[in-house]
């Protein structure tokens, strides 16, 4: 068992969100569902928490009510090997949500995701400050990250 687990607060969509996320990522599954009992605070029998794994990483989702909502102050960053993976995750996670700048999006539950191609990190880490600056500038002008656009900026 991992020592630190990300805990996500939802109004009442914890199970729906967990099933949505596990349908998107390989090596993902719902592990456990706990229900509120007579002691509450939720309606007895309704879902309290859902433990799930995404790509082997464990999360817990809570149906905690409308008291708290997600902000961009926390996001889940996804490492992507290819443009096809970036495109697929952008489409599936962004469906019903909203695009943000620099590879960030909010899903339909308001949770922020960073869809990051490995190539971005590689190009931005170049020891030539002019090359890495061009890549950074290109990335800052993008919503969904376009790997070829980054490469083109790098090679200018």
CA atoms within 13 A on the CB side of 135: 21
Would you call the peptide bond into 31 cis, given omega within 30 degrees of 0 as the criterion? no
Kindly list the structural domains of the chain, giving each domain's residue range(s) and its CATH number in brackets, ordered by start: 1-69 (3.30.720.100), 70-156 (3.10.180.10)
Q: What is the pTM of this model?
A: 0.93
Average pLDDT estimate for 70-78 = 96
Q: Tell me the pLDDT tens digit for each residue of 116-144.
A: 999 999 999 999 999 999 999 999 999 99
Q: Tell me the pLDDT tens digit for each residue of 83-115.
A: 999 999 999 999 999 999 999 999 999 999 999
């Amino acid at each position: 068992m991992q020592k630190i687990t990300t805990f996500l607060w939802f109004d009442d969509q914890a199970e729906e969100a967990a099933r949505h996320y596990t349908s998107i990522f390989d090596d993902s599954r719902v592990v456990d569902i706990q229900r509120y009992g007579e002691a509450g605070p939720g309606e007895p029998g309704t879902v309290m928490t859902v433990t799930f794994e995404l790509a082997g990483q464990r999360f817990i989702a809570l149906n905690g009510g409308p008291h708290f909502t997600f902000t961009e102050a926390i996001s889940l960053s996804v490492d992507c090997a290819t443009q096809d993976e970036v495109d697929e995750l952008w489409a599936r996670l962004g469906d019903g949500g909203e695009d943000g700048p620099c590879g960030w999006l909010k899903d339909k539950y308001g949770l922020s995701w960073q869809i990051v191609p490995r190539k971005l990190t590689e190009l931005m880490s170049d020891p030539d400050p002019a090359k890495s600056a061009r890549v950074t500038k290109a990335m800052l002008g993008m919503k969904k990250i376009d790997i070829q656009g980054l490469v083109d900026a790098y090679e200018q």
